[in-house]
Amino acid sequence: MHVRSLSRLALLATLGTTIPLASAQTTTPLTERLLVQPNGGVSSAELRTLFDRHKLARLKRVHGINLHVVRVAADRVAATEATLRADPRIRSVERDRLLAPAQLPNDTNFPAQYHLMRIGCPAAWDMTTGSIRTPIAILDSGVDATHPDLADKVIAGFNMVDDTTDTHDVYGHGTMVAGVAAAASNNGLGVTGVAWASPIMPIRVTDTNGFAFGSTLSAGLVWAADHGARVANISFTVFGASWLSPAAQYFASKGGVTFAAAGNDGAGHNEPDNPWVVSVAATDANDQRASFSSYGPFVDLAAPGVDIVTTGGGGQYTSVSGTSFASPVVAGVAALLLGVSPTLTPTQIVDLLTGNARDLGAGGYDPMCGWGRVDAANAVAAAHVLVSRPDTTPPSVVVRSPTSGASVSGTVTVDVAASDDVAVTRVVLYADNRPVGALTTAPYRFTWNASTLPLGAHTLLTAGFDAAGNRGVSAAVQVTTIIAKRPAVRLTAPLANTTYRAPAVIAMSAVVADNVGSTRVTFSVDDRARSSDSFAPYSRPLDLSTLARGTHSVVATAVDATGKVGTSQRIVLIKAF
């Protein structure tokens, strides 16, 4: 996110990840659940067979990003995870975890809402207060729709935990978060939200103790994207959670931006930036980083998160602290930007937020507060200046592998690169002008069953689409489908029945003939793999000092691009001192 993109998440999830309450900020794998995402082109029947073979029970599927939540016996989790990762049909495999809300409960006296003045809301409100057309999705414990400052703000949402439309607050956290972002204002009572004209879309992702699975959170983001939300807030600590990226990227493909809490352990974390999530640190009334606010290269922005007055349970009001409440401040400012122009893209929204933030540290980006403390007045003014031109530029799409002229057989991985000046929303693979599969998130890696076509020449190409409907088409890739044969492997060194004296390092070399192309040759000594080479001429050194005196066997094994295996004749060498 340091290139004016999106960053990391701290979430309350129900998708498949576990964390205790905010201050602890720990993450515990839920060992019997895995998140499995196949490559594009893998059929439902093929996936079902794969799951059955490994005795996996599918618990749910997150449509839109084709993410499957499966249960596996606790004593087989590691082995199953490794096996699925090695399967060319599987795009990603991760543990499903539980997350806890990133809040620090505070019972201090009711303070003034200093944060609204600090970030320049009054000046921003002179230009916009948000828009009824741009709801803010609050992925949390639900929202109290009976609260007098929320009653007229809450629109239809969804309960991802129980699969119902009941989104009442089961823990209290979501009501506080929602009030910060968009509580009703100018009504003569209570508190003021940042984007008080924007509706609140409650999406319950937690259990009654405030914990959420990562898989539930991902499903909630997809639901929000499919139901018109342009801003999503996740007040949970999810930095380093790569499982969230497909859902956040899907949300971006529908024009939305995801915001998350940076965390409350006050420590530094060297976690990489997530380009699809804006991670928000907390500051105090003096624009100093809050002592509890986590920091690291994943932080994108900062916002007030100490002594924030907001809506509470039972129609009351409360003062709270935590990055849980800094995140919805920035989410509210994003909604203000969409109030200026609903045509703003996710990239433009993030650029407006980061480019107009008040720098709090050394010039430019820093891991404590990212690009600085959000400034609503400056960002909204800049949005007014920004002229949104119609997007007429199509995505750029390239098939990276296989390359033109390649011979293929069986199951083939087709790797595609796609980019756009705004965002790629979908990539479709075609074989002989017939669609094979479609992907909505990167990496765009398809699994194509070449055996469904007759032997001979065929054409692969891909098309990329953006939100404006522009279509970019790749150059055609010509491939030839063949019947793959096992690689023929011959050891050329060491020589059979030859005595070698130590100390010495000798070569193990092999030549391979194959009608597809070998990808790896492994050399084994006494039936134990010693080393491998992925490029011809295939050769690796053998240090004789690692062998005992006597006779030893050497064999070379080749694996080609289709997975077929060929093995050389076993030769015997004799080591003498």
Alpha-helix residue ranges (DSSP H) falling in 161-282: 173-182, 214-226, 245-253
- 3-state class (DSSP) for residue 452: helix
Cα-based distances in Å from 394 to 235, 314, 426, 443: 35, 51, 12, 19
Residue 494, preceding peptide bond in cis (omega within 30° of 0): yes
How far is it, in rounded angstroms, from Cα 367 to Cα 269? 10
Amino acid identity of 26?
T
**Is 140 among the catalytic positions?**
yes
**Is 388 among the catalytic positions?**
no
Q: Annotated catalytic residue: which of 5, 68, 140, 284?
A: 140
Selection from 377, 376, 194, 225 nearest residue 301 by Cα: 376
Provide Rg for the chain, Cα atoms.
28
**Is 44 among the catalytic positions?**
no
Task: Return phi, psi of residue 199, to 5°.
Answer: -70, 160
Which residues are within 8 A (CB) of 426 and not within 5 positions of it... i.e. 6 or more apart? Answer: 253, 438, 439, 440, 464, 465
Quick check: 397 and 462 in contact, CB under 8 A? yes
How far is it, in rounded angstroms, from Cα 325 to Cα 262? 11
Q: Which residues pair with 481 in a beta bridge?
A: 408, 456
How far is it, in rounded angstroms, from Cα 75 to Cα 53? 16
User: In Å, how far from its chain's centre is CA 371?
Assistant: 22
Amino acid identity of 159?
N
Q: Which residues pair with 431 in a beta bridge?
A: 434, 460
Backbone CA torsion sign across 30, 32, 33, 36: positive
Tokens of 82: 């490794």
Q: Annotated catalytic residue: which of 68, 173, 269, 552?
A: 173
Q: Annotated catalytic residue: which of 324, 518, 524, 568?
A: 324
- 3-state class (DSSP) for residue 161: coil
Longest dimension (CA), the chain: 96
Tokens of 510: 């092999």
Q: Which residues pair with 463 in a beta bridge?
A: 428, 473
| Residues designated as active site | 140, 173, 324
